[in-house]
Amino acid sequence: MQKEIVKTKKMVFGASCIASLKDGKTVFVPYSLPDEVLEISIVKEHKNYTEGKIEKILEASPHRVEPRCPYFYACGGCNLQTADDEYQHFLRKSMALEALDRALGLNKEKAAFDKPALEKNFFEKSIFVSGPDWDYRARFQFYIDEDGSLSLKENKSSGSVKIKDCPIAVPAIRNLLKSNLKEYTPNSRIHIFSDGEKIFTQDNAKECEVRLTGKRIKFNPLGFFQSNLEMTEKLINTIFEYAEISSSVLDFYSGVGTFSLFAYDQAKEIHLVEHNKHALAYAQENFLINSLSNGIAREKKESGFPKIFYHALDGKNWTKTKESKLKFDTVFVDPPRSGIDKEALSWLCSSGTRQIFYISCDPVTFARDTASLLVSGYKLEKHFLFDFYPQTHHIETLGIFRKDGDNRLYCYKPQKIIGCNV
């Protein structure tokens, strides 16, 4: 097996550091940190790069620590526990901003700027919002073994790893892990969610309920909901600190209506677009239960209730509806990891919406879609990074876009902009 001594450079999205081999080829080294001297073995060759494995750490980073979790190297969940918590914040921010920098061509050689569009040092002003580094994760999918013990997916494998604890889980789930679940079906999967006190599964509850910033939100245990509740509240509070809602709101990829729910007492009309009919049914219930509580109904008597419309459609089919021709003053967009689909992005770029709040779980697709919005005349006014997933390389992004005039970013070598006619 080929071995080499290398010095690592920067960490890239995915939590591997890059280094150069003697032949000049780039190698990606997982579990390494920047500026370490390592003896590595080559485990996989590709056309333009290789994958390496640490055999010996010759010069360790001052930020290197022992992983807190005994299952760290076997489990497929965390991949950054080798770095101290504060340094992890720096690494996640750096990886996310590099993805944007690469997609937008923000460097002196490749970009020229219209002053109203984007300052050269704009992303140095990105705001990093953090929360607890441990004991934060409220949602898991476990495998139940024959003996009732719980397992998580094994790293880079179809197998599983039995665990008795998980230091990133909320305390209620950590307590559950210490007991055997013999009442559940062996050799099956179980979806678990905790509101911090109760444990919800698909077997013991038809629905979960949490309270976020004073609102009740229901959803199915098998459905998607954010796994970090404290950071979700911070995200919601940030959005509505900057939102200027006067009339019509569109909640794109709405899920159970988490964001548009907080616009209820300001908007005159709300449209939710979500292809999952079950999630949309929960959104309808969430609007109902919150309109009848917390005094909202009494407060709205004089000003009138907003009209709420539910569209069980994907982005492509939404663009074909008559409602898509309406003018919205505010749009919330929270797409899956793959980003905004082509037709929906094209529609959004030409919609004339005054303000867009783009929430993303993938900095790479966020950067791609940001390029489209900027070229179509939007200005990226604020950029936040929310630390939803400590001990991993993942991060949640919030971009606040506004269109008050002709704000464009002209790139010397612009990459292909997907789905925008500009």
Q: Which residues are annotated as a binding site for S-adenosyl-L-methionine?
A: 226, 253, 274, 334
Token code pair at residue 270 = 């709300």
- Tell me if residue 33 falls in helix, strand or coil: coil
Looking up tokens 């409602």, which residue turns up?
A: 323
333 residue type, one letter: V
**Could you tell me which residues come within 8 angstroms of residue 114 by beta carbon, excluding any fewer than 6 positions away?**
407, 408, 409, 410
Q: Which residues is 143 bridged to in the sheet?
A: 151, 189
* Interacting residues of 325 by C-beta distance below 8 A, sequence separation 6+: none
Residue numbers in the known binding site are 226, 253, 274, 334
Which stretches of 43-134 are DSSP H helices? 85-104
- List 69, 361, 411, 420, catalytic entry: 361
CB 116 within 8 A of CB 379: yes
The span from the CA of 183 to the CA of 273, in Å, is 39
Q: How far is CA 19 from CA 95, 180, 241, 361, in A?
A: 16, 44, 42, 27
- Catalytic status, residue 17: no
User: How are strands ordered across the β-sheet holding 330-333?
Assistant: 127-129, 379-386, 396-402, 355-360, 330-333, 248-252, 269-273, 307-311
H or E segment at 43? strand 37-45
Residues identified as active-site: 361
